[in-house]
Amino acid sequence: MKPSLPTRRMREHPDLEQLKRQAKELLRGFTAGEPEAAAEVAAHYRAPDASTFALHHAQLVIARSYGFDSWPKLKAYVDGVTVRRLADAVRAGDLSQVRAVLHTRPELADMQMSYGDEHRPLHFAVMHRLPEIVKLLMRHGANARAGIHPHRDATSALTLAKERGYHEIVAIIEQEEQPEADTESTPEDVRGDEAARAAVAAGDLEWVRAQHAAGTLVNPVRWDDGGLLTVAVRNKRPQMLALLLDCGLDPNERVSEGEGDWVAYSQGYPLWNAAALGNLEIAELLLRRGADPNVHVDSSGSSVYSAFSHKQWEMVELLRRHGGVVTADTAAIYRQTELVRQMLEADPRKELAEEMLRFAASGGDVEIVRMTLARIDWPRDDPRWFRILTEPLYFWHFIPWLYAGNRELDRTTWLPCFRLILGRCQPNIPGSFGRTVLHEVGAMRNHITQEESTAFAAALLDAGARVDLRDDILKSTPLGWACRWGRTEVVRLLLSRGADPEELDAEPWARPRAWAEKMGHADILVVLNEPRP
């Protein structure tokens, strides 16, 4: 049985004896026929038999209910064998401790620190230049291509090693990525459901019925792509969808990521896709069978949001008839100014304004930003300002690969939104891994013009943004970032405001000139070489 979704939440300081008691209580309840115990066992254990169900079976159910695939792994977590412990051992360069942790829990080699922190142990091994630990982590399944949000392109373990000139680590990673490389663990093949997905896409009802009859029909939902129901929706297979629902598949295709004290959920893939496609027949089928229009697909919103973003107005009305809600984030990001005004008048809580502010800043609605700021009383140095202040930098509606953007909107509104927010906070508030908003301006993407990015940089500098602060991963100043990402006019502006083009106190690989050379920005090298007073 594929590991099931967590149904219990781990307390802050878990106790093994308490977990043992929970297993014994579950065993007693199940053998006594208690409905709640029977439901929990059925959720995590295939075809349970009360006459043979023993304590070790109950312990397995308890482990799965907390998001672990075995009792020993749950016990190891409680005993402190966690991804944070592994990361601490890596940072300390303790090879024997790293080996001991991986022996108990090899899956930690490729686990990120938390839902909001995408550092992995391999990142620390590279940044501390520990080749033997890099090799050990790679042999236990670490992914050297996984980056750290929000600049994953610049922060994978392999990219960090290459750009720092750690050639011995690059060689290890490339060797260990070869198919014939030795491994010390066999990670679960999360893409091993291709036959089922192909059958569903082709509408092969008999194949699905046969698998269900044999007890081998499973639905491993992918965090980034949904499961079999989603495949049926995308391929417009209502009969297949109905059959899969008859087989007992979850209409919301709920999936989790993480473990123990941090578990994230994503759900609603089938209805979200039906909404995007405007397929009313399939959406109605899903809604009749229990799909929730208000649950969220990670980073993609609810089905109502999906319908709204794809301009499927009939779908919006269908979902609303079934309880779907146009939420604050949807209204704000799509510049529904009057709807937001009504929401704020109906709900005076500052929490609503706080939620709306982020999405208004992202969507670029000046009036909504103004309305929400009027209800917010954060101190100027509140760390929450960092995220709000960076939202206008993305020009969200114009991101090239973003299906949901509305490119008919005015793109000149993000700068006034930015200035309004900047007027309420300190310009040097740090974000994750020590970067500032001025760093972020140096990394603005190619769908934003040089002129636009320079205007944001000027606003920050006029407000007192510092040019000498370095982040913790690229070890670079805002000038270094602008050199890396090719923001020539931002480079010119920073130099005119006192930024040091040499930075002799920086790591050699993290200096502005080094970034421009590595990334092939000849025009920036010309600017760096210009004489200055």
Q: What is the pLDDT of residue 182?
A: 64
Q: Please give the share of the chain, as a percent, with pLDDT higher than 90.
A: 77
Distance (Å, whole) CA 328 – CA 149: 24
- Nearest CA to 142 out of 102, 111, 182 is that of 111
> Rounded mean pLDDT of the chain?
93
Q: What is the pLDDT of residue 51?
A: 86
CB 99 within 8 A of CB 65: no
CB 309 within 8 A of CB 403: yes
* pLDDT digits 0-9 by tens, 164-199: 999 999 999 999 999 866 666 544 444 458 899 999
Give the Å distances, CA to CA, from 333 to 374, 444, 461, 503: 18, 20, 27, 40
Q: Structural domains in the chain?
A: 16-78 (no CATH), 83-176 (1.25.40.20), 212-326 (1.25.40.20), 349-529 (1.25.40.20)
Q: What is the pLDDT of residue 1?
A: 47
Angle at which helices 522-529 and 488-496 pack, to 10 degrees? 10
State the average pLDDT over residues 19-46. 90
State the average pLDDT over residues 211-219. 90
Give just the sign of the alpha carbon dihedral 324, 330, 332, 338: negative
pLDDT band at 203 (very low <50, low <70, confident <90, very high): very high
Structure-derived torsion over alpha carbons of residues 212, 216, 222, 223, reported in degrees to the nearest 10: 90
* pLDDT digits 0-9 by tens, 109-168: 999 998 889 999 999 999 999 999 999 999 999 999 999 999 999 999 999 999 999 999
- In DSSP terms, which residues pair with 302 in a beta bridge? 296
CB atoms within 10 A of CB 150: 16
